[in-house]
Chains A and B, each alone.
Chain A
Amino acid sequence: MLLEVIIFITLALIAAVSAILVVTRSNPVISALFLILNFGALAGIYLLLNAQFIAVAQVIVYAGAIMVLFLFVIMLLRPENEKKIFSSNPLIKTLAFVIGGVVFIQLIYLIFIVRPSESQSPEVAQSIQAGTVEKIGTLLFTEYILPFEAAGFLLLAATIGALVLAKKKFE
């Protein structure tokens, strides 16, 4: 159990620090690489939560497919290495940090007021087998088959939309 805590703290620190680095680096390629590190740490945390299927999907879909798309577009556009990475408007910057701080304090306050772990029933904590591929697949192809098909259709529409948008404009 101590090992579990050590692994969680390590992964959480990696995720938090890499999230900050994503936002503060001026080179978008570095940002993208730190975002991949963040996704990898999150996949590890999903494994700690017994969500094996989601952990594998996180690595394949997010760290694999989506980030390759991001890196490809960054290479394609070759954006200039900006000197001032944050918005030049000081009002926007102040407002952003104020909003972020207020919402963060609200969330932390809410978490410590509600304290969901105290109302957890012990038998649920003993028998966490929710995340196996078998369980997810059974739910996905029986009860949630309609949203599954809708997600497939959405991906098809997105593919066609991306092709149309990025296609060279004909005169």
Chain B
Amino acid sequence: MHIQIEYYLILSAFMFIVGVVGVLTRRNAIVVFMSIELMLNSANLTMVAFSSYLGNAVGQLFVFFVMAVAAAEAAVGLAIIIALFRNKLTINIDELNILKW
């Protein structure tokens, strides 16, 4: 028998939750960024699973666009982290509170 789509969806849900917990609890800005990449990848897995399940290539096309957006986001986000580190000498997000009121 074929592997059912539910198992792919469960794996995707698990990876998404690990990413959410990482974003909410970690203090290192770079690791927070990696958790965001984890969440993007779990969404990609869902899209590829449904694309394969429906026999429709458009889902995989959107995964391609998600990858392009993720590359852009990583470049800009890491540049922001470098700029922050240059000004504050830390990337601990507990100490980066200049936007807090």
Contact = CB atoms under 8 A, between A and B. Distances in A.
Contact of A62 (B14, B41, B48, B58): B41
B38 A19 contact: yes
Interface in A43-64: 45-46, 48-51, 53-54, 57-58, 61-62
Given A42-B41, A82-B27, A96-B25, A136 B57 contact: yes
Given A35-B37, A115-B6, A124-B55, A54 B64 contact: yes
Contacts of B48: 46, 49, 51, 54, 131
A125 B24 CA distance: 39
Contacts of A136: 57, 60-61, 64
A19 B19 contact: yes
Given A19-B14, A19-B38, A39-B41, A48 B3 contact: yes
B82 A73 contact: yes
Contacts of A131: 48, 51-52, 57, 60
Interface size class of A (residues with CB under 8 A): 35 or more
B21 A23 contact: yes
A57 B63 CA distance: 10
Contact of B51 (A4, A51, A96, A104): A51
B49 A85 contact: no
Contacts of B9: 107, 111, 116
Interface residues of B, number: 74
A112 B4 CA distance: 12
A20 B38 CA distance: 10
Listed residue (B19, B35, B74, B86) with the most chain A CB atoms within 10 angstroms of its CB: B74
Contacts of A107: 9, 13, 16-17
A104 B70 contact: no
Interface in A113-158: 115-117, 120, 124-125, 127-131, 135-136, 139-140, 144, 147, 151, 154-155, 157-158
B22 A166 contact: no
Contacts of A76: 82
A22 B16 CA distance: 13
Nearest to A130: B57
A169 B86 contact: yes
B75 A162 contact: yes
Contact of B80 (A100, A130, A165): A165
B69 interface: yes
Contact of A73 (B1, B70, B78): B78
